[in-house]
Structures are given as C-alpha cells and as structure tokens.
A and B are shown apart, each in its own frame.
Chain A
Amino acid sequence: MQPTHRSSRILLPAKTWFAYLSLLVALALSYIPTGLTPGVPDWVALVLAFWSIREPLRVGMGAGFLFGVLVDIGHGAAMGQHALAYVVLCYLATSVSRRVLWFPPTQQALQMFPLLLLTQVIMVVVRLVAGAEFPGWWYFLSSLTSAALWVPLNYLLLLPQYQPVDRDDNRPI
C-alpha cells in the first residue's frame, strides 16, 4: 500500500515536560484498581510507545525502565517485569519510528499492535520461567484494546502541537 503524507502535517515541537506529564497521567491510570478485569489497556506502554515513535530522542529506553519499575511497584508485580518489557518496547518503537510516521494513525495502530503484544508476551514468559501459572488467553486482550486506543490517543497527545504559532482570535484552534 502506498503511504500517504497525511500524518506529516507540520507541527509545533513537542514539549518534554508535556511528554513526561502524560506519562505520569498514564501511570496514575494504570494504578486504578480494576482487579483482574480482562482487556484493561496498558496505558503506560501505550504512551511510552507513542512518545518513542514521536520523539525518539527525548523519550526512550531510560523512560521505559523508570516507568516500568514504577508500574511494577504499584502493581505488586515482580521487580523488573514491566521494566524489561517496556525497555524492549521503547527500543523497538524508537527503531521503527521513521517508518511508522509515514502512515496515517489507523495504520500506525495496526503496526503498534504486534509491539504491544510482544511486551505482554515478554512479561508472560518472564513469569512462566519464574514458575507462575499461565494467566489465561484473556490476558492478551489488553494489547488489542491498547492498540484500538492509538488513534484517539494520537489526537489527544498531539493537541498542544496543533496550536498555531500566531494566535488568531477568529480561529481558536
């Protein structure tokens, strides 16, 4: 399929503080006690992947490691479980970022799905090796819902960059 250039609209530069603020919000969302409901999206993985694609020089494996450890602690998971998965996710997302950005958001979502699935597979493998029980196939539903949220998230997180440089009162956004 021929890539379109719709996604390469010229935007304002992203602000680093906004990227980290959105990561913190994602962390808070991941702490919401949903129990064992299947299909709860992995917010932190999603936002980390987003910024690794958009701003590979500012958000990368270091952020993945830091937020992975914080998720591990909040979830009572094994220390390093999410960190490992997110580091690999950020590495892969950074390395495919040039290619993925050529596509419109819906096709980006299709490309993100295998990456998000891989992070979950890494976590399952790590815990199975350590002797845990297999959590059931429903567990993997989460990466599907995460990938489905890619398009609205894309819009939401790019909103600050859609602002025009010269503010025009007749045209608010």
Chain B
Amino acid sequence: MRLLVLVSVCLAMLVADLKFRYLEVVRQALSVATWPLQMAAAAPADFVRNAAVYFGTLVEVQKDNAALRGRELEAAQRLLRFEQLEEENRRLRGLLDMGPAVAAKSVAAEILYDAPDPFDLKVILNRGSQQGVEAGMAVVNEQGMIGQVTRVYPVQAEVTLLTDKDQAVPVQVARNGLRGVLAGAGQGRLELRFTLSGADVRVGDRLVTSGLDGLFLAGLPVADVVSVDRDAQTFAVIVCEPVAGVERTTQVRLLGRAEPPPPRPAPEPEPEPRKGLKG
C-alpha cells in the first residue's frame, strides 16, 4: 500500500518536473539543505585539480604564456579596430534613427565538472545568481557558443550544452541571413531544423545566433554546416558541427542582455465576424 502511494507520488513529481517545470522552487529550497554536503564532497575534487595546477611544469607554463602573449597582441589590434567600428556603428544607427544596439552583460566563469546525470549533456559552473548569472544566458568560449544556462543556484549554475537533444538555438546563416532553428542531434552534432530543401544553405556556411528569441545577443558564432541532404521530402537534413569545442572547454563567459527584450506587440483585435452575407 505504502509502495503504491510513494510510487505514485514519484511519478507525479516526475511529470510535474519534466513536463511542466513546476518543482523548481522545491529544488531551489532543498538545494540549500544539500549545499554543505555538496561542498564537502567537492573538496577532494578541488584538491586534485589544484594539485595538478601546482605541479604543472615550468616548460608548459612558459609555452602557454608565449601563446597567450601572441593571442593578446592579435586581440589588441582587433580591439582597437572594434572600438572604432562601434563608434561608427553608433553614429550610423543615430543617423538611421534605429535606437542603440542591445547592451551586453557578461560574467566570467569556470566549468567545474560534468553534471552526474548521464541522461543530459550538462555542465556545472562555479558562478550563480549571487554573481549575476541568470537563466537563459548564452555560454561562450573564445571561439563561439557552447550552451545556455538552464538552471541557476545561489553559487552554481547548470549549463545545457548545444549538443543536448533538447537544446535549441535560433540562428541565421551568416552569409545570407537565412533564419532557422538549430538543435542538438547527439554524437556531438547539431541539426538545422525546419529549413526547406530549396533553401540556400551550403556546406561550410557559418551559423550565428539571430537574437530573435530575445535572450541571446545577435551574431555569436554557433556552428558550421557539415553536410546538406536535400533528398528528404519538405525539409532538408542539414548537419552542423559546433564552432567551439563544446564538450572540452573550461573557461567560459556568460553573455546576456542588459535589459529585458521589448514586450511583445499587442495582438491585433479580432476582425468582426461578417454579418448579412445571406442571399
């Protein structure tokens, strides 16, 4: 009898959580209770990681340092050019009466470990709501986007990687602005869904975020098209590969919009039903 009661409670919880996301509040509240245990358990892992850093050889550090200096120099040049372009962009936007571009908000973070749940592709970050992380932020590394923040705890955040089956990103083809939805396809691949087979997408095209969802900034590099199969009925099967090493990266930045997106336009009033069409 108790078995039946508890099993049905569990099933109800599963449905409420997986289908409707009703239990986030409960999860947040209970996570405060499990927090000390989690910290205690993470201590040995931290120790091992720090020890690895400590015993890293001098040669490696010097090599890293040289590479980083080279990259910094390159980045500095691009930054100078970028500032000039941004200034120019602001002036031109002013002339065209378009309003300022969306301001970005960013937080630096480090990936602590893969989430232990083997059913989703998720990683845990060492920054949470106390450091300004919000659910929905884009997670990028120096090459491109790797995922999205899907759950925020006080000092940790959970990121769903792009290659997860349930993760979707609105993108556009950088070459011609064609819009589409990119979703994870398993095995480290992505799939551009719902694109007509006649659409102008070629192998090698770069896909960037379109910013249409009101969450991501526009123009973050996401993926490259690897193969296009137009033999399917209505929609082409377009397989893509993420630009950034999605499943092997440690230092990331979280990008979000500094202000909420503008409200949806009010729905148009229903047209009055036509009368007197008889006869």
Chain A contact residues, CB within 8 Å of chain B: 24, 27-36, 61-62, 64-65, 68-70, 73-81, 83-84, 87-88, 91, 126-127, 130-133, 135-136, 139
The 5 closest A-B pairs by CB, nearest first: A80-B13, A31-B41, A84-B10, A33-B113, A135-B118
Residues in A with CB closer than 8 Å to B56 are none
- Main SS of chain A's interface residues? helix
Chain A CB within 8 A of B34 CB: yes
Minimum Cβ distance to chain A for residue B162 (Å): 14
Determine if B42 and A33 form an interchain contact, defined as CB atoms under 8 angstroms apart. Answer: yes
Residues in A with CB closer than 8 Å to B114 are 33, 35-36
CB-contact partner of A27 in B2, B18, B37, under 8 A? B37
CB-contact partner of A83 in B13, B119, B158, under 8 A? B13
Determine if A132 and B37 form an interchain contact, defined as CB atoms under 8 angstroms apart. Answer: no
Q: What are 27 pairs between A and B in contact, CB < 8 Å?
A: A27-B34, A28-B40, A28-B41, A33-B42, A33-B113, A33-B114, A33-B116, A34-B113, A35-B114, A61-B3, A62-B2, A62-B6, A64-B6, A70-B33, A73-B31, A74-B34, A75-B115, A76-B116, A76-B117, A78-B18, A83-B6, A88-B7, A130-B18, A131-B165, A132-B119, A133-B119, A135-B118
Determine if A69 and B116 form an interchain contact, defined as CB atoms under 8 angstroms apart. Answer: no
Distance, CA A31 to CA B43, complexed state (A): 11
Distance, CA A74 to CA B165, complexed state (A): 22
Determine if A79 and B118 form an interchain contact, defined as CB atoms under 8 angstroms apart. Answer: no
Determine if B14 and A80 form an interchain contact, defined as CB atoms under 8 angstroms apart. Answer: yes
Minimum Cβ distance to chain B for residue A17 (Å): 17
Distance, CA A79 to CA B14, complexed state (A): 6
Nearest A residue (CB) for B42: A33
Assuming the contacts A84-B11, A87-B6, asked whether A34 and B37 have C-beta atoms less than 8 A apart, the reply is no
CB-contact partner of A33 in B10, B18, B45, under 8 A? B45
